[in-house]
Structure 1
Amino acid sequence: MEKDEKPVTQVLVKHKETQSLLEFAAMLESIAKKLKEDQKFIITQGKEVVEIKPSNQLEVEIEYEIKRDKHSFEIEIDWYPDRDYPTMEIL
């Protein structure tokens, strides 16, 4: 890769919709439950099926901002598939 070339970003899912607070909370609970039980979750959008399987260790970013009368809250997780770090256990 040349110095000026940037890596290509592949967008697998991009979706925006209006939900009630309870619908959004239910979606978060569903994702959390799947991650706890299966260490993955699946998003379907039309005929597209995307499996999201994070590594054991994650980089987590939470951001809350206010711009005039609009509030935005974001949760972002990043991981590298080949970088599972062992957890420490004290016996």
Structure 2
Amino acid sequence: MQKSNIETCTNIVDVRRNIDSIDKELVALIAKRGAYVKQAAQFKATTAEVEAPKRVDQVIEKVTSIALAEGANICVIEAVWRSMISAFIEAEKEEFAKITST
């Protein structure tokens, strides 16, 4: 992990302040990712294309490689991404259903 951009905290308040700041950034990025997922639904022809298991595997492979390079806990990264992808697939299925029902 690149420690140069990690503040050395002297108390729990500092730790929580930094975590809260990161959470704000993460939520903004997840919202941005969600907007692209919503757009993706218009380019799919079937629900199977929405589920795209091969793409899921590619994304998991990519993020675990990034995690390794960044010194992140690979198990945590994979679990978070699998959960996030699952939720986004459900959201994309809903969007796909709206698009294809009109």
- The answer to whether TM tops 0.5 is no
Higher helix residue share:
2
The structure richer in strand per residue is 1
Q: Which of structures 1 and 2 has the larger relative contact order (alpha carbons within 8 angstroms, sep 6+)?
A: 2
Q: TM-score, normalised by structure 2?
A: 0.26
